[in-house]
Amino acid sequence: MDCSEVMKRITSHRGVKQLVIINKDGLPLKSIPEMEDLGESQARSLHELAGAARRMVRDVDPTDDLMFLRVCSKTDELLISPGKFA
């Protein structure tokens, strides 16, 4: 299954507004064009938040690592998965 197929499968779930793949510099690489746009500045703050969460996890235990980050607001939910695509 290639990247676009995985993205289509995820965004087919009800309520998903956007899916963005962000590179290690915080730049958005790929998203779903017909869905709500997530600007570069928001992609960068997402990236910074994941970085801060990773530093905090390693602060507590240097051998540990961040697996997932869920940010719940009054209206939305952001799911951040700091993975590595081959």
Q: Which of 17, 32, 34, 19 is nearest to 83 (CA)?
A: 19
Do the beta carbons of residue 73 and residue 43 sit within 8 Å?
no
Tokens 């690592």 sit at which residue? 65
Query: In whole angstroms, how close is the CB of 2 to its own copies at the nearest point?
Result: 26
- Is the Cβ of residue 21 or residue 78 nearer to its own copies in the bound state? 78
Binding site for its own copies (CB under 8 A): 38, 41-42, 45-46, 48-49, 52-53, 55-57, 59-61, 64-76, 78
The least distance separating its own copies from the CB of residue 16, rounded to whole angstroms, comes to 15
> For its own copies, which is the closer residue by CB, 5 or 41?
41
CA dist., res. 55 & res. 62, Å (int): 9
Measured from the CB atom, the residue of 2 and 75 that comes closer to its own copies is: 75
Helix (H) or strand (E) holding 80: strand 77-80
